[in-house]
Chains A and B, each alone.
Chain A
Amino acid sequence: MNSTRALWPQIILLVVIITVCVFPFYWMVTTSLKTQIVALEAPPVWLFEPTLTNYFEALFEDGVLQTLTNSLIIAISTTILSLILGVPAAFALARFEFRGKKDLWFWFITNRMVSPIVLALPFFLIARNLGLLDRHVTLVLIYLTFNLPIVIWIVTDQFRGIPYDLDEAARLEGASQITIMLKICLPLAMPGVAVSAIFSFIFSWNELMYGLILTRNDAKTAPAMAVSFMEGYNLPYGKIMATSTLIVIPVLIFALIASKQLVRGLTMGAVK
């Protein structure tokens, strides 16, 4: 049939797309299961005896477990803080009318454009002067610069979609604005809140530069740890890839869960 023949180029193209997207992950995982000797074979081998030693060594001897815990603590704390600060602000932007609202909105959104290095320099000096280097709280706070805007942006949109009649009805019953937000709008806005929380988590978990500059040991994040393997002459490729795998897997799971909204989240502010 003519149409099946026309499908072939499409099928081939799709297979190529999928392969190109997935292959680096395949290579990452297989390399993480190689011993150093196998990993350093030239040309690289595709079939070998897999081993989990890299994971055990990285996690328990090199302290990757600690850095993963740090990353987890920081990402969750900053997400919660962003929600606590961002949800009421989003409610105000969606429901109240006040002067300067547009400017405020624009300011929240433009934080997405600013290069982190611009803030990293002064933040490092301030943290140093206050004795806040290498503390979890420092990263939790600086991550607000990208998490708060994303929460406000997504949740405002969500609140706007909730019919205003519901508010009116509750207000006639004598409910305060805070009660209206918590009891009526928030439950209905949960999908948006969840998506913004996932974003906030992914962005914080993935972040390297601030982690590198603002931590040394105690609060060191997992990506910063992965980078510190790169020092020295003989690179432990298996361990680096094992650590990378551990870092990437939670993000990929979250990203697949939120895959429908991922693009929207990444285009924040640029599409009306």
Chain B
Amino acid sequence: MYRQVPRKTIFTFIGPAVIGLAMVGIAPLLYAVWTSLHFYNLTKLKRVEFIGLENYWKVLTDEVFWQAMGRTFFLLGTALPLQIALGLIIALVLHQPGLTMLKTLGRLSLVLPMATTYAVVGLLGQVMFNQKFGVVNQLLGGANINWIGDPNNAFFMIIFWDVWQWTPFVALVLLAGLTMVPIEIEEAARLETKSNWILLRFVQLPFLVPGLVAVLILRTADTLKLFDMVFTLTRGGPGSSTEFISLMIQRVGFRGFDQGLASAQAIILLIITIVLAQLYIRVFYKEV
């Protein structure tokens, strides 16, 4: 099928993309490594000096860093199961035959949340969850809940919007898995059993596994990346109750001006991301 072509031709085609991506994706990383080995404060630029691994030591022993990390995984651990459970229910309903019009409408509305600008989701959160003139308290029968100003409520609100935005994604991924089940197999199984549960467990589940793995990998990566929505909604507050890892690094680097320390945090985050990605791939794609 494929041809051996001269190296020059290959380079003409692929070289520009490789060089381009290396310039914007790798060169800055190397610079971040350099910064992380220095005392580099934006307000004290006269005093940039090499300090070895001191920043890394600081990060590794910094409670605040690990708390932000823990909070990030706590968010993943609470939001993801909800997204999978709700997503599975939605996918199973959409997969049932009948009600074609309503289901097409449903599928199209599912597209909306996940395409929405993340920053706008945060702004919507501000408006809808406002204690005094927010519609959420009104819909809860005139409740007077302080959503944004209370640490636990603010965290719950972040979970709510994460679930709102990404359950549709999970649902559509799982729906794609369900449509992969060959009709004959599904029909044969239906003759054998009346239980939807048995059908799901033994017939449909194997087709859902690749999608679930993808969801797990991507939601993990996206939670480690999570910034826009939380920044516009709570800026990590109140206190540090919704300060997830990306927000924390942004605060240290751009509001605390300590670029050296923030770079060390970023490099450690990168290492954690790579290790997790490798781990997932090892565990789930055993044959690779």
Contacts and interface: CB of A to CB of B under 8 A. Distances in A.
A213 interface: yes
B217 A145 contact: no
Interface string B1-37: 1111101011011101110110111011101100100
A112 B221 contact: yes
Nearest to A221: B119
A226 B221 CA distance: 26
A17 B94 CA distance: 11
Interface residues of B, number: 97
Given A85-B20, A104-B14, A152-B17, A27 B124 contact: yes
Nearest to B248: A117
Interface string A5-26: 0010011011101101110110
A184 interface: no
Interface residues of A, number: 96
A89 B17 contact: yes
B3 A97 contact: yes
Contact of A227 (B17, B106, B119, B124): B119
A248 B164 CA distance: 16
B198 interface: no
Contacts of B96: 10
A91 interface: yes
B90 interface: yes
A217 interface: no
Given A44-B138, A226-B120, A267-B214, A117 B16 contact: no
Contact of A18 (B13, B109, B249): B109
B13 A22 contact: no
Given A97-B3, A122-B28, A256 B102 contact: no
A67 interface: no
Interface stretch (B77-85, B183-191, B267-275): B267-275
A31 interface: yes
A223 B119 contact: yes
Interface string B98-138: 11001101111111111111111101101110001111011
Contact of A247 (B5, B105, B117): B117
B232 A227 contact: yes
A14 to B, nearest CB: 5
Interface stretch (B49-57, B59-67, B150-158, B222-230): B222-230
Given A43-B142, A145-B24, A237-B127, A227 B266 contact: no
A52 interface: no
23 contacts: A11-B99, A14-B105, A18-B109, A27-B135, A96-B4, A96-B9, A113-B277, A116-B246, A118-B269, A119-B32, A125-B35, A126-B28, A144-B21, A144-B24, A177-B13, A240-B126, A240-B127, A241-B123, A244-B117, A256-B111, A267-B214, A267-B218, A271-B173
Interface in A65-95: 84-86, 88-89, 91-93, 95
A22 B138 CA distance: 18
Contact of B118 (A14, A42, A206, A240): A206
A92 B10 contact: yes
Nearest to A151: B17
B270 A114 contact: yes
Nearest to A26: B135
B249 A20 contact: no
B262 interface: yes
B211 interface: yes
Interface string A202-238: 1001111100110000000001001100100001010
B133 A43 contact: yes
A14 B102 contact: yes
Instruction: Give 6 closest A-B pairs by Cβ, nearest first.
Output: A255-B115, A89-B17, A270-B214, A92-B13, A122-B28, A21-B109
